[in-house]
Amino acid sequence: MSDPEYRDHALLRRRVRDIASGIEGELMAVINEDMSTGVIPQRIDLAYIRKADGREFTTAAANVEAADQ
């Protein structure tokens, strides 16, 4: 497995919504992570979102939109 890579994102440190769950929070980071299982390599951009209670969750970066939309 290779090291994760931080990605730049226009909504970093802004209030965002995960369109898959509807949960809102602050976008803390977008990281390209190795999600390979077995022999098939797979990397995915994961968005780390911090909710109001301080806990973070991840979602696909493609699922992130500005919360004010």
Residue at 13: amino acid letter:
R
pTM of the model: 0.88
Query: Tokens in use for 30?
Result: 């977008």
* Distance separating alpha carbons of residues 22 and 26, to the nearest angstrom: 13
For 35-59, write each residue's pLDDT tens digit. Answer: 888 888 899 999 999 999 999 999 9
Helices (H) and strands (E) in the chain, counts: 0, 6
Q: Are 11 and 27 in contact (CB under 8 A)?
A: yes
Q: Are 61 and 48 in contact (CB under 8 A)?
A: no
Average pLDDT of the chain, as a whole number: 94
